[in-house]
Structure 1
Amino acid sequence: MTAVFHDLTPGIRRVSVRFGDRWLELPDGMTLAAALLAAGVSTFRRTPASGAPRGPFCMMGACHDCLVLIDGERVQACMTEVRDGLEADPAGGGA
């Protein structure tokens, strides 16, 4: 998968994060939304009605398009920091 966004943090510590069925090495402390975009992940959830793909839009917590499931709870990826061992799943269907 080719990332549309560039990783601007080449020297920062990387940690293991699971998103769906993939384990990724993401920058520690970056928002999950920014880190996933830089890793090439663009679909974070699918809408319940049509299954249309959704991903980050506002990157500041206003739109809720970046919802993911962490520990069974829907959270905004743009408001969640990457940490070692974080396990997240797409919300509203598979990505």
Structure 2
Amino acid sequence: MFRRLSDRNESWISFTFDGVPMTARQGDSVAAALLAAGHCSTRQTPVTGAARGPYRMMGVCFECLVRIDGRSNRQACMIAVTNGMLVETQDGAAGAEE
């Protein structure tokens, strides 16, 4: 569904998504890296369990919430992926203390 526009010679970094090793271009947002890898869903809604994922890619809709390095409610579209980052699907609502 999504693909990169070019394969320029760029730096690649490693991260994991739900325990699976992945790569991303240096400077990619978490959402862009996940979409490029074929993952369109980043969370499930707390009420119905419906899948949600990146939508507007500019930080206004909160559809792309994930757990990053142990912290819930992180907007994947607003955070640059870093080497060794641990990204997890967020299931339902996460408390403010997480």
State whether TM-score is above 0.5.
yes
| Structure 1 SS opposite 2:34 | helix
Q: Is the 8 A contact 1:9 1:27 kept in 2?
A: no
Q: Which runs of 4+ in 1 moved over 3 A?
A: none
Q: Distance in 2 between matches of 1:9 and 1:78?
A: 20
Q: Which amino acid aligns with 2:76?
A: A
The answer for the alignment partner of 2:35 in structure 1 is 37
The answer for the alignment partner of 1:64 in structure 2 is 62
Structure 1: runs of 5 or more not aligned: none
**How big is each residue's C-alpha offset from its partner over 1:47-66, in whole Å with a ceiling of 9 and x where there is no partner?**
11111000001100000000
| Structure 1 SS opposite 2:87 | strand
**How big is each residue's C-alpha offset from its partner over 1:13-49, in whole Å with a ceiling of 9 and x where there is no partner?**
1111101121101111111111110110111001111
Structure 2: runs of 5 or more not aligned: 93-98
In the alignment, structure 1 residue 52 sits paired with structure 2 residue 46: no
Q: Which amino acid aligns with 1:50?
A: T
- What TM-score do the two structures reach when normalised by structure 2? 0.85
In the alignment, structure 1 residue 88 sits paired with structure 2 residue 74: no
Identity of aligned residues (%): 42
The answer for the alignment partner of 2:2 in structure 1 is 5
Q: Which has the larger radius of gyration?
A: 2
- What TM-score do the two structures reach when normalised by structure 1? 0.87
